[in-house]
Amino acid sequence: MKTSDIRARFLGFFEENGHTVVPSASLISNDPTLLLVNAGMVPFKPYFTGELAPKWDRATSVQKCVRTVDIEEVGQTSRHGSFFQMCGNFSFGDYFKKKAARYAWELMTKSQSDSGFGFDESLLWVTVHTDDDEAHDIWANKIGIDSSRIQRLGKDNFWDMGVPGPCGPSSEIFVDRGAEFGPDGGPETGGDRFVELWNLVFMQFERGASEAGAGKGYDFPILGDLPAKNIDTGLGLERVATQLQGVDNLFEIDEVYPVLDRAAALSGKKYGADHEDDVRLRVVADHVRTGLMLMADGVTPANDGRGYVLRRMLRRAVRSMRLLGYDDPAFPELFSIARDSMKSSYAEVDTDYERISDYAYAEEEQFASTLRAGTTIFDTAVADTKRAGGSQVSGDKAFQLHDTYGFPIDLTLEMAAEQGISVDEDGFRRLMGEQRDRAKADAAGRKLGGADSSAYRKILDTSGTTTFTGYAEIERESRVAGLIRAGQGIRGAGEGEEIEIVLDSTPFYAEGGGQQPDNGIITIGDGQVEIFDVQSPLPGLIVHRGRVLSGEVTDGSSVLASVDINRRRAISRAHTATHLIHQSVRAHLGESATQAGSLNAPGRLRFDFLTPGAVPASVLADVEEEVNAILMDDLEVRAFLTTQQHAREIGAMALFGEKYGDTVRVVEVGDYARELCGGTHAARSGQLGMVKLLSEASIGSGVRRVEALVGLDAFQFLAREHVLVAQLAESFKVPADEVPDRVASVVEKLKAAEKEIAKLKSGAILDKAADYAAGATDVFGVSFVGVEGPPGLAGNDLRSLALDIRGRIPADRPAVVAATTTSDKGASFIVATNDKAREWRLGAGEIIKVLAEPMGGRGGGKDDIAQGGGTNAAGAAEGLRRTEHWVGQRVTGSL
């Protein structure tokens, strides 16, 4: 029975029994305590805890789940997988133990011809909690299971969420796999013979806090019965599929094995022949499927959060393929197979496959280069460690691998373990902490203006928070709550001094959420302070930085705070334009193209968003046209406060990574765009005038940046563009609409000229081959030629040069040719040997490693010719010197 059929039978059975079928929630959890949904009941948690009233009395679902706590164990055993599907049926104050048990037993034992799973009753065992006589009685006397196959267990059969709230005993259904998997004795014996398939949780009590504090425990008090008893069950879909498909483990079921089988074929391995290879094949199969499902739900590779979970799994899959001996891109072969295996249950993996594959292929390509460079550095570090008699790679070397070469610490730990050594994790964490502290200090320096936070804390403790009134007004009478100069509180300041002013209330917007701060004037009697920056160094405190233009400002003074209205309006127009661009980008590229950063400045904006590749010019043109059409519609821009839950229900976008309180501010542009936002905005979309997209480019893996102008700045840009086109048309003596063709023609001619120049340069270099061959060094009977080629020499030309030199050396004499060239990106190098040299055990594939090391690179190839690249161009001369020395050692037998 296919896994998708098992899934359909489960949902169909409970739908026939009055349950509402609830689609799987996204793997991206709304629960702030979870990165990813890791259990079937997670989407229903608010109903069980009483946060929300249940929408149904009975529900059923097959929930996608990801667990990564024991990711290192994936593949090591046949049980550990990171992605799984949990079938569940739920009762919210409706039926309880008796019906839950009857439903489970009926579906498990009903014949397959009658839409059941068809398990042999004699192979099924049940466990109940030690004190749950009611459940024992139901299984034995109502269901009719032989009491010898019902076992009472302790805390393993009691469920709670780790915090005060609902809890209760549970009951589990196990299947006996047979004597070949272990001794008899039922589930209490442990081991692999008895496998849990279904867990039924009976939520009937309310628990208090554990004596040990938060977290799972068995020492919490039971406060009493819940007002309504609930049912939460979980049937492991992969586990049931394993049994019904007659295979040994989850990696061999129909949704997983095709990927494993293709990985084995690509690498020339046979599954089941070698344990280490089997582990790697299982890692590939599991991580490719999990990666597919995560990306289908909008997760993209990143260096933190759930994006890092995805990146780590994709990179483990790539490295596993390399360890299996397959060095070519594997994801184009594997992801399409995972898609075909999963699409019957989750159509989104098929309909969104182009975006998913773009991210996957890009991640593999990026990591392949990282792996090449980092592995060389790692191998050197391991060799140095062992040579020094140590057993631990230093923390600074692990940090260098992470910081310079993008090697995750998890990968370094795995590779070290494979070499039988450890890593100084404490040293690594310390260096990472120092780096984070420096970054935080830099950010704090902007917020604090170089001041010690104690001065701000004192004002906050004394005068309280600052009331922001800038949504409704741009001018306000206020009182000076505190003055700071050079990090110290002061009583007053005079003309020419730069100071920081805290007011009890202010219309000035403090920089935040990508929006630049307001500027303006604070008037004190006959004096004025020019405000050029506004920050919020502590939550609730707004600090105005400025220069006293005239008069004197004193603590406690009454002032008039006036925002520069033109600057405010220009920034607000840019912020509203950002919302419109965000909405339009998502409409054209998919909902996963979410904001990853922004800058809203007077008349201009910068918008960063997640997407795997370059955005076609046609799509950008469509986005720009759509946004400007919204401006023509002159939609009302409205802001209001509401609860987080209501904001989600009405579809307001929230930025991942941002922290929101229970009450949130929603900004709407008509019915077109709706986001959680604390910034200032135009009153109507028509006030933006015009939005002009200037550029689109990559700023990191999977992150693109659009820059745009808004309002008068956009008009002025187009005016300048018009003048420029007119000047070009005049220069080329053609109409304006023919300028692009004429420019393209000139560029083509320039490219042709550059190619001809390069050809002449290449010819001049190759003409020197005879001179290089004639100047070969005799190294104990070997003709050795070491060439530092001119910078920027093309790889094909370097290869041709080496082969030409080798061909000019008499065939009866061993010849080794090593050549290098450098560029601002690093170095390229090549080694060529003739037949006679190879008879002397001088193979290019071995020699290239010696040449590569000083250049921080690696290379490979055959015995007659090998090539590679490195990051340290300055090591080229040293590489040639070491190569010549190595050749001498090999010939004289001193290696």
Model confidence pLDDT, tens digit, residues 494-526: 999 999 999 999 999 999 989 999 999 999 988
- Give the mean model confidence (pLDDT) for residues 325-332: 92
- The predicted pLDDT at position 657 comes to 46
- The predicted pLDDT at position 486 comes to 86
CA atoms of 856 and 380, how far apart (whole Å): 10
- With beta carbons less than 8 A apart as the criterion, state whether 237 and 6 touch: yes
- How far does CA 153 lie from the centroid of its chain? 41
Would the pLDDT of 732 be above 90? no
- Give the mean model confidence (pLDDT) for residues 588-613: 88
- The predicted pLDDT at position 13 comes to 97
- At residue 614 the predicted structure's pLDDT band, cuts being 50, 70 and 90, is confident
- The predicted pLDDT at position 671 comes to 93
3-state secondary structure of 154: coil
787: tokens are 């060439």
Catalogue the E-assigned strands of 622-690. Answer: 637-643, 663-669, 673-676
- With beta carbons less than 8 A apart as the criterion, state whether 62 and 198 touch: no
- The predicted pLDDT at position 712 comes to 92
DSSP per position, 747-809: HHHHHHHHHHHHHHHHHHHHTTHHHHHHT-EEETTEEEEEEEPPTT--HHHHHHHHHHHHHHS
- At residue 740 the predicted structure's pLDDT band, cuts being 50, 70 and 90, is confident
575 is in an annotated binding site: yes
- From residue 475, alpha-carbon distances to 109, 150, 481, 508, 526 in Å are 75, 76, 17, 9, 17
CA atoms of 342 and 325, how far apart (whole Å): 27
- How far does CA 720 lie from the centroid of its chain? 41
Would the pLDDT of 267 be above 60? yes
- The predicted pLDDT at position 129 comes to 95
DSSP per position, 267-308: HT--TTS-HHHHHHHHHHHHHHHHHHHHHHTT----SSHHHH
Cα–Cα–Cα angle for 723, 727, 732, nearest 5°? 150
Would the pLDDT of 389 be above 70? yes
Would the pLDDT of 215 be above 70? no
Would the pLDDT of 252 be above 70? yes
Would the pLDDT of 557 be above 90? yes
- The predicted pLDDT at position 70 comes to 67
Pick from 254-258, 319-323, 376-380, 408-412 the range whose average pLDDT is largest. Answer: 254-258
DSSP H or E segment with residue 454:
helix 453-463
The torsion angle over the Cα atoms of residues 428, 432, 438 and 441, rounded to 10 degrees, is -130
167 is in an annotated binding site: no
Mean pLDDT of the chain, nearest integer = 88
pLDDT in tens, 771-826: 899 899 999 999 999 999 888 787 788 888 899 999 999 999 999 999 999 888 88
- The predicted pLDDT at position 427 comes to 84
Bigger pLDDT: 744 vs 11: 11
- At residue 691 the predicted structure's pLDDT band, cuts being 50, 70 and 90, is very high
Would the pLDDT of 832 be above 80? yes
- At residue 218 the predicted structure's pLDDT band, cuts being 50, 70 and 90, is low
Percent over 70 (pLDDT), the chain = 93
- The predicted pLDDT at position 366 comes to 80
Bigger pLDDT: 298 vs 709: 709
Would the pLDDT of 477 be above 70? yes
- The predicted pLDDT at position 147 comes to 93
One-letter amino acid of 202: F
One-letter amino acid of 518: D
Pick from 296-305, 736-745, 797-806 the range whose average pLDDT is largest. Answer: 797-806
287 is in an annotated binding site: no
- From residue 480, alpha-carbon distances to 297, 473, 514 in Å are 50, 19, 27
- Give the mean model confidence (pLDDT) for residues 430-456: 64
Bigger pLDDT: 701 vs 19: 19
Bigger pLDDT: 715 vs 596: 715
- With beta carbons less than 8 A apart as the criterion, state whether 666 and 266 touch: no
Is the whole-model pTM more than 0.75? Answer: no
Would the pLDDT of 224 be above 80? yes
- Give the mean model confidence (pLDDT) for residues 871-888: 92
Would the pLDDT of 214 be above 50? no
646 is in an annotated binding site: no
Percent over 90 (pLDDT), the chain = 57
- The predicted pLDDT at position 764 comes to 67
- The predicted pLDDT at position 78 comes to 66
CA atoms of 653 and 644, how far apart (whole Å): 11
- Give the mean model confidence (pLDDT) for residues 713-734: 87
DSSP per position, 179-192: GGGS-SS-GGG-SS
Give the list of residues 6+ apart from residue 254 with CB closer than 8 angstroms, or none: 2, 3, 241, 245, 341
pLDDT in tens, 630-687: 999 999 999 999 988 788 888 888 765 455 666 899 999 999 999 999 999 999 999 9
CA atoms of 150 and 124, how far apart (whole Å): 9
Would the pLDDT of 463 be above 50? yes
- With beta carbons less than 8 A apart as the criterion, state whether 850 and 820 touch: no
